[in-house]
Amino acid sequence: MRIFIKFDFNTVCKKILEEKLDECQIKHRILGFGEVEFLEKVSIEKLDSFSNSLYPYGIEIVENQKTILIQKIKDAIVDLVFNEDSSINVKSSVYLSEKLNHSYGYLSNLFSEVTYTSIENFIIIQKIEHTKQLIINGQLSLTEIAFKLNYSSVAHLSSQFKNTTGITPSAFQRIITKRREIATKNKN
């Protein structure tokens, strides 16, 4: 038997952080995605215990300032692309500059230097991941998805989707539909 699961990365990570901080009895406040303020002095032992408890989930504490800023850039992009409340119609360069209080040129150069890819490429990858989720959810047409993610046309979305995944969004839709049919058939 196979089931399909819909989840929000931000909510999952926040829940894990909350649970692990509570388990370690660390008084805290979650400020934003990936940022926690300790409301008390935390011993090295507690901090190590907390860090070790996050490791199995692929979550780690970041200490290097450049790495912290890179993570903030990634978090801001993920929030821009995946957040249902935010409007993706804003220019990403303006959004990142305003959100992170640095010039876009500085952010772009730093991101490329550390990650060996561009901010633009990271945004495309996130948009394609969101497109996949929206296709799997099956509630929006490709035209609606293209509009929602601020593509100029379905053809533009399709082109980026194919360049990133190797298949068209329509082919991806057919694969998902076929998998559901097989899963339903096997269930009966």
Direct distance between the N- and C-terminal alpha carbons of the chain, in angstroms, rounded to an integer? 10
Give the pLDDT confidence of 40-53 residue by residue, as tens digits: 888 888 888 998 99
87: in domain: no
CA dist 39 and 95 (Å) reads 30
Establish if 146 belongs to a structural domain.
no
Quick check: is 130 in a domain?
A: no
Given 3-state DSSP classes, what are the helix, strand and coil percentages for the chain, each rounded to the nearest 5? 65, 5, 30
Instruction: Tell me how far CA of residue 150 lies from CA of 94, 147, 157, 184, in angstroms.
Output: 15, 5, 9, 34
Residue 121 lies in a domain: no
pLDDT at 103: 93
Q: Could you tell me if residue 55 is inside a domain?
A: yes
**Total domains present in the chain:** 1
pLDDT (tens digit per residue) in 6-64: 777 778 888 898 999 999 999 988 876 677 888 888 888 888 899 899 889 888 887 77
